[in-house]
Protein backbone atom coordinates (compact mmCIF):
# COMPACT_ATOMS: atom_id res chain seq x y z
CA UNK A 1 0.00 0.00 0.00
CA UNK A 2 2.79 2.43 0.86
CA UNK A 3 4.52 1.76 -2.44
CA UNK A 4 1.29 2.38 -4.37
CA UNK A 5 0.62 5.55 -2.36
CA UNK A 6 4.17 6.85 -2.85
CA UNK A 7 4.06 6.02 -6.57
CA UNK A 8 0.75 7.84 -7.02
CA UNK A 9 2.10 10.81 -5.05
CA UNK A 10 5.14 11.00 -7.33
CA UNK A 11 2.97 10.75 -10.44
CA UNK A 12 0.72 13.51 -9.09
CA UNK A 13 3.72 15.70 -8.28
CA UNK A 14 5.25 15.18 -11.73
CA UNK A 15 1.95 15.89 -13.51
CA UNK A 16 1.32 18.99 -11.40
CA UNK A 17 4.83 20.32 -11.92
CA UNK A 18 4.48 19.81 -15.67
CA UNK A 19 1.07 21.49 -15.71
CA UNK A 20 2.39 24.43 -13.67
CA UNK A 21 5.39 24.82 -15.96
CA UNK A 22 3.23 24.66 -19.10
CA UNK A 23 0.59 27.07 -17.80
CA UNK A 24 3.15 29.49 -16.37
CA UNK A 25 4.80 29.61 -19.78
CA UNK A 26 1.63 30.40 -21.74
CA UNK A 27 -0.27 32.69 -19.37
CA UNK A 28 0.66 36.27 -20.16
CA UNK A 29 1.39 38.87 -17.51
CA UNK A 30 -1.91 40.66 -16.85
CA UNK A 31 -2.12 44.26 -17.92
CA UNK A 32 -1.72 46.58 -14.94
CA UNK A 33 -0.03 43.90 -12.81
CA UNK A 34 2.37 46.48 -11.42
CA UNK A 35 -0.57 47.57 -9.25
CA UNK A 36 -1.04 45.61 -6.03
CA UNK A 37 -4.83 45.87 -6.44
CA UNK A 38 -4.64 44.21 -9.84
CA UNK A 39 -2.30 41.50 -8.54
CA UNK A 40 -4.66 40.81 -5.61
CA UNK A 41 -7.60 40.66 -8.00
CA UNK A 42 -5.84 38.09 -10.13
CA UNK A 43 -4.76 36.24 -6.99
CA UNK A 44 -8.41 35.99 -5.99
CA UNK A 45 -9.35 34.88 -9.49
CA UNK A 46 -6.65 32.20 -9.29
CA UNK A 47 -8.53 30.72 -6.33
CA UNK A 48 -11.71 30.25 -8.39
CA UNK A 49 -10.87 26.76 -9.73
CA UNK A 50 -10.56 25.43 -6.17
CA UNK A 51 -13.63 27.33 -5.00
CA UNK A 52 -15.69 26.07 -7.94
CA UNK A 53 -14.60 22.53 -7.14
CA UNK A 54 -15.50 23.01 -3.48
CA UNK A 55 -18.94 24.24 -4.56
CA UNK A 56 -19.33 21.10 -6.70
CA UNK A 57 -18.38 18.94 -3.71
CA UNK A 58 -20.93 20.69 -1.52
CA UNK A 59 -23.62 20.41 -4.18
CA UNK A 60 -22.90 16.70 -4.67
CA UNK A 61 -23.16 16.18 -0.91
CA UNK A 62 -26.45 18.05 -0.68
CA UNK A 63 -28.00 16.31 -3.69
CA UNK A 64 -27.03 12.84 -2.50
CA UNK A 65 -28.31 13.55 1.00
CA UNK A 66 -31.62 14.68 -0.49
CA UNK A 67 -31.85 11.81 -2.98
CA UNK A 68 -31.00 9.15 -0.38
CA UNK A 69 -33.06 10.69 2.41
CA UNK A 70 -29.99 10.74 4.66
CA UNK A 71 -30.78 14.04 6.34
CA UNK A 72 -29.32 13.33 9.78
CA UNK A 73 -25.51 13.08 9.57
CA UNK A 74 -25.39 11.82 13.16
CA UNK A 75 -27.70 8.83 12.59
CA UNK A 76 -24.92 6.63 11.17
CA UNK A 77 -26.74 5.71 7.95
CA UNK A 78 -24.49 7.49 5.50
CA UNK A 79 -23.25 5.77 2.35
CA UNK A 80 -19.56 5.41 1.57
CA UNK A 81 -19.85 8.28 -0.92
CA UNK A 82 -21.32 10.60 1.69
CA UNK A 83 -18.60 9.72 4.20
CA UNK A 84 -15.75 10.05 1.71
CA UNK A 85 -17.17 13.22 0.21
CA UNK A 86 -17.48 14.83 3.64
CA UNK A 87 -13.83 14.02 4.34
CA UNK A 88 -12.84 15.47 0.97
CA UNK A 89 -14.79 18.66 1.70
CA UNK A 90 -13.21 18.99 5.14
CA UNK A 91 -9.70 18.39 3.81
CA UNK A 92 -10.23 20.83 0.94
CA UNK A 93 -11.25 23.56 3.38
CA UNK A 94 -8.22 22.77 5.55
CA UNK A 95 -5.92 22.97 2.52
CA UNK A 96 -7.53 26.22 1.37
CA UNK A 97 -6.89 27.70 4.83
CA UNK A 98 -3.16 27.52 4.05
CA UNK A 99 -3.19 27.96 0.28
CA UNK A 100 -5.54 30.92 -0.13
CA UNK A 101 -3.83 33.43 2.20
CA UNK A 102 -0.41 32.27 1.01
CA UNK A 103 -1.32 32.75 -2.65
CA UNK A 104 -2.83 36.17 -1.93
CA UNK A 105 0.20 37.25 0.11
CA UNK A 106 2.44 36.10 -2.73
CA UNK A 107 0.33 38.02 -5.27
CA UNK A 108 0.39 41.17 -3.13
CA UNK A 109 4.15 41.08 -2.57
CA UNK A 110 5.29 39.74 -5.92
CA UNK A 111 6.54 41.56 -8.96
CA UNK A 112 4.23 41.71 -11.96
CA UNK A 113 6.25 39.07 -13.82
CA UNK A 114 5.32 36.47 -11.18
CA UNK A 115 1.59 36.72 -11.93
CA UNK A 116 1.46 34.01 -14.63
CA UNK A 117 3.02 31.59 -12.13
CA UNK A 118 0.58 32.62 -9.40
CA UNK A 119 -2.41 32.15 -11.70
CA UNK A 120 -1.01 28.81 -12.90
CA UNK A 121 -0.55 27.61 -9.32
CA UNK A 122 -4.20 28.38 -8.57
CA UNK A 123 -5.23 26.22 -11.51
CA UNK A 124 -2.86 23.42 -10.49
CA UNK A 125 -4.19 23.52 -6.91
CA UNK A 126 -7.75 23.11 -8.21
CA UNK A 127 -6.69 20.23 -10.49
CA UNK A 128 -4.89 18.55 -7.58
CA UNK A 129 -8.01 18.80 -5.41
CA UNK A 130 -10.03 17.21 -8.23
CA UNK A 131 -7.49 14.36 -8.42
CA UNK A 132 -7.71 14.00 -4.63
CA UNK A 133 -11.52 13.80 -4.76
CA UNK A 134 -11.64 11.26 -7.59
CA UNK A 135 -8.82 9.23 -6.10
CA UNK A 136 -10.45 9.10 -2.68
CA UNK A 137 -13.74 7.95 -4.21
CA UNK A 138 -11.90 5.13 -6.00
CA UNK A 139 -9.78 4.02 -3.02
CA UNK A 140 -8.34 5.88 -0.02
CA UNK A 141 -4.78 5.08 -1.18
CA UNK A 142 -5.49 6.71 -4.55
CA UNK A 143 -6.04 10.08 -2.90
CA UNK A 144 -2.24 10.44 -2.81
CA UNK A 145 -2.40 11.38 -6.50
CA UNK A 146 -3.92 14.73 -5.50
CA UNK A 147 -2.80 15.09 -1.89
CA UNK A 148 0.93 15.38 -2.59
CA UNK A 149 0.57 18.10 -5.25
CA UNK A 150 -1.91 19.96 -3.06
CA UNK A 151 0.54 20.02 -0.16
CA UNK A 152 3.42 21.08 -2.40
CA UNK A 153 1.32 23.84 -3.99
CA UNK A 154 0.45 25.17 -0.52
CA UNK A 155 4.06 25.05 0.63
CA UNK A 156 5.24 26.66 -2.61
CA UNK A 157 2.73 29.51 -2.23
CA UNK A 158 3.69 29.97 1.42
CA UNK A 159 7.41 29.95 0.65
CA UNK A 160 6.98 32.32 -2.29
CA UNK A 161 4.91 34.70 -0.15
CA UNK A 162 7.54 34.74 2.59
CA UNK A 163 10.26 35.32 -0.01
CA UNK A 164 8.29 38.11 -1.71
CA UNK A 165 7.83 39.97 1.56
CA UNK A 166 11.35 39.46 2.90
CA UNK A 167 13.17 40.57 -0.25
DSSP for 66-117, please give it: HHHT---TTSS---HHHHHHHHHHHHHHHHHHHHHHHHHHHHHHS-GGGHHH
Is residue 150 within 8 A of residue 88, CB to CB? The reply is no
CATH for 2-166, options being 3.30.410.10, 1.20.120.550, 3.90.1150.10, 3.40.50.880:
1.20.120.550
User: What is the rounded average pLDDT of the residues 154-158?
Assistant: 97
pLDDT per residue as tens digits for the range 32-91: 999 999 999 999 999 999 999 999 999 999 999 999 998 888 888 889 999 999 999 999
87-129 pLDDT, tens digit per residue, is 999 999 999 999 999 999 999 999 999 999 999 999 999 999 9
- Rg from Cα positions in the chain: 17
Q: Which of 132, 162, 107, 160 is nearest to 50 (CA)?
A: 132
Instruction: State residue 146's pLDDT score.
Output: 97
- Predicted TM-score (pTM) of the model is 0.94
Q: Residue 55 and residue 35: Cα distance in Å, rounded?
A: 30
CA dist., res. 46 & res. 59, Å (int): 21
pLDDT digits (tens, 9 = 90+) for 8-40: 999 999 999 999 999 999 999 999 999 999 999
Domain range summary for the chain, segments of one domain joined by +: 2-166
- Quote the pLDDT of residue 74: 83
Amino acid sequence: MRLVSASLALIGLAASALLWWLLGGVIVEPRGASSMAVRLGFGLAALLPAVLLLAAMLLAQMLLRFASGTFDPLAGRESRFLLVNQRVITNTIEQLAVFAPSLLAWAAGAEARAMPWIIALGIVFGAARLAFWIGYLIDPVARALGMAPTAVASLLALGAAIHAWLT
